[in-house]
Structure 1
């Protein structure tokens, strides 16, 4: 039952005693030193005071941490995330208790029971952005209708890999009775499959918010009868063999233990071996296995290993049918991070068949 699935959301903080407060009259340098020592602080008076403190935290970290190479960017973001998690803001009756604060519908939707509590300011920023996307929807070049991503669900902000998949689907001549979308997320690949004539798509995800969000957004529409969901890893309850399996896994290997929010971005060392083992059982003899990937990990020097190439050379289960590639558009020139390596980035669509 969908009602039995717990939602991933920022954890409410109920301090046992009052914590130090921050406003524009408080010394910022001293505040940041306290944060580095593990002392939490609460934003008061104006919402903009939280923005000010986060901006000063960025300026402080830039003095001690380089932020140019891909690995340095990861270290910088990790340090920022750790310290900023101690900056809190108070919520009472589903509203932020500071002036000129945004109204965020998620506060009532995700915390119906909680009356008064604190949340990290950076998480509130995420809730605010997410609420705008959820309310207004996002138009993608490969779909006719907008998607409405639920809080905590990854959705694409660049579209090269979706266009690559859409172009492949236009030329696909196999049977279209069923397909499995492993890690359905915001549902984009599944919606593309339905658009191109697949009668039934089975989608799984380990993120409860993906299942809850898609169930809610599809409602009792025609789409809800074409897409069946399961809150589970890999193939979940879908045991029957199918003509097409689609997988858009994370593109970067994990360098540490993952929390739930990282699982859409980083993969652990067991993901691909388990996936290929299970995919072999579910693919019809003439079926196709499509994996959407990228050379991001190789060009950013995170790893030299390519998990799909490794499977083809050592797995003995599948053979290569096609590998299509598409250059990724350059990152926005508004970004402050060094991204020269982006000029080498390509998205990849691997088509494997039974070996």
Structure 2
């Protein structure tokens, strides 16, 4: 969300470009501060007054951390998914009320502020030319993502080679489903493959490593396309993998179509959540409905899905098999694996009852 917002500071009329990745509205009332305690800050923020932090950068971080700790300590625990999501959105909107001003070329005027130009360039693709206002917690997310991007994620299914993921692109930390793709039996012959919603490009890279000579990876996200292109080039797989900035399918037919769609049927509250949430499974059902028309006679569809939506009561257990059948597809083989990520083992998370029972599956499908 980008718009010009105005405020008054020391009798002067000020303005800057408001930037936030969330879908909450821009603040309408801004108060500049350089010192305030947690209770005073929370009282103003709950009255819809955004606080523009002019004090020491690290003290601003400490204030934000204290605000989050206070809010979370008093929050009710909701085991209902929708109530949990609503509470998350309310907290997000509240935390968005502590702002920081960024000068052109990524400069911060706050005392002891770091150089954030590289982190912002990672997000925006070029140095910012305007004064920006954005939530401090979002800026900290940008900085953390930049360090994560530089370090990369080692992928065992790629023999330990790294995938580098910038802010705004889904990270392949769920290594268990990558292993399913690396080990599943390919259709025969398998000269071509499509990776639909490629994101970081990791699934396309695994298929290329398995020897498929012609792979097309698609995505409708500009950030994802740039990320996938960089990873494919870094892995020297340009000859095998061609990337297209389109929604869902290229034209023609292929031997293998692979897709790891969003697993939860809920509305995203920010752009980055579109990789996780698919309202009413619209993308999934569209993918299944159209996939059969793009297969060669011996072709297969590989669908990567978690059953967590079923444990959360968001999708009946029989829904996915029914959608597959209605789309003119049949199940050839299904391989299940338990998630290995740390969140699956957390016992105190409100949704632990679902996460602890979650199974990730590779559905290998063919035309009826």
Q: TM-score range by the shorter chain?
A: 0.7 to 0.9
- The 5 A counterparts of 1:147-166 are 147-166=163-182
User: Is the CA contact 1:161–1:292 (under 8 Å) kept in the aligned structure 2?
Assistant: yes
Structure 1 CA distance, aligned partners of 2:77 and 2:31?
Answer: 30
SS of residue matched to 1:224: coil
In the alignment, does 2:283 pair up with 1:271?
A: yes
Q: Which residue of 2 aligns with 1:227?
A: 241
Cα 1:174–1:70 change in 2 (3 A) is farther
Residue from 22, 32, 56 that aligns with 2:42: 32
Please give the per-residue CA displacement for 1:242-292, whole angstroms capped at 9, x wherever unaligned. 0100010011001x4665322100112322232122211101111110000
Deviates more, 1:174-183 or 1:68-77: 68-77
Please give the per-residue CA displacement for 1:27-70, whole angstroms capped at 9, x wherever unaligned. 32121122122211122332333333333333343355323526
The unaligned stretches of length 5 or more in structure 1 are: 1-9
User: Is the CA contact 1:330–1:343 (under 8 Å) kept in the aligned structure 2?
Assistant: no
Q: Which residue of 2 aligns with 1:292?
A: 304
User: Is the CA contact 1:61–1:76 (under 8 Å) kept in the aligned structure 2?
Assistant: no
Q: Which residue of 2 aligns with 1:324?
A: 335
When normalised by structure 1's length, the TM-score is 0.86
User: Is the CA contact 1:152–1:209 (under 8 Å) kept in the aligned structure 2?
Assistant: yes
Cα 1:143–1:40 change in 2 (3 A) is same
Cα 1:55–1:303 change in 2 (3 A) is farther
Structure 1 CA distance, aligned partners of 2:167 and 2:6?
Answer: 25
Please give the per-residue CA displacement for 1:103-139, whole angstroms capped at 9, x wherever unaligned. 3313245252424322211211111111112212221
Q: Which residue of 1 aligns with 2:252?
A: 240
Moved over 6 A (4+): none
In the alignment, does 2:143 pair up with 1:132?
A: no
Structure with the greater relative contact order (CA < 8 A, sep ≥ 6): 1 or 2?
A: 1
Q: Which residue of 2 aligns with 1:57?
A: 67
The unaligned stretches of length 5 or more in structure 2 are: 10-29
Cα 1:306–1:125 change in 2 (3 A) is farther
Q: Which residue of 1 aligns with 2:89?
A: 78
Structure 1 CA distance, aligned partners of 2:130 and 2:290?
Answer: 45
Q: Which residue of 1 aligns with 2:229?
A: 215
Structure 2 CA distance, aligned partners of 1:129 and 1:335?
Answer: 26
In the alignment, does 2:277 pair up with 1:260?
A: no
SS of residue matched to 2:157: coil
Q: In angstroms, what is the RMSD of aligned CA positions?
A: 2.5
In the alignment, does 2:116 pair up with 1:106?
A: no
Q: Which residue of 2 aligns with 1:15?
A: 6
Residue from 191, 204, 211 that aligns with 2:218: 204
User: Is the CA contact 1:12–1:118 (under 8 Å) kept in the aligned structure 2?
Assistant: no
Q: Which residue of 1 aligns with 2:357?
A: 344
Structure 1 CA distance, aligned partners of 2:307 and 2:196?
Answer: 20
User: Is the CA contact 2:198–2:228 (under 8 Å) kept in the aligned structure 1?
Assistant: no
Please give the per-residue CA displacement for 1:191-225, whole angstroms capped at 9, x wherever unaligned. 10001011111111121101122223444874123
Q: Which residue of 1 aligns with 2:315?
A: 303
Structure 1 CA distance, aligned partners of 2:86 and 2:33?
Answer: 27
Structure 1 CA distance, aligned partners of 2:209 and 2:85?
Answer: 37
Q: Which residue of 2 aligns with 1:179?
A: 193
Q: Which residue of 2 aligns with 1:195?
A: 209
When normalised by structure 2's length, the TM-score is 0.83
User: Is the CA contact 2:168–2:271 (under 8 Å) kept in the aligned structure 1?
Assistant: no
Q: Which residue of 1 aligns with 2:27?
A: none
Corresponding pairs, count: 339
Structure 2 CA distance, aligned partners of 1:89 and 1:224?
Answer: 41
User: Is the CA contact 1:95–1:107 (under 8 Å) kept in the aligned structure 2?
Assistant: no
Deviates more, 1:112-121 or 1:33-42: 112-121
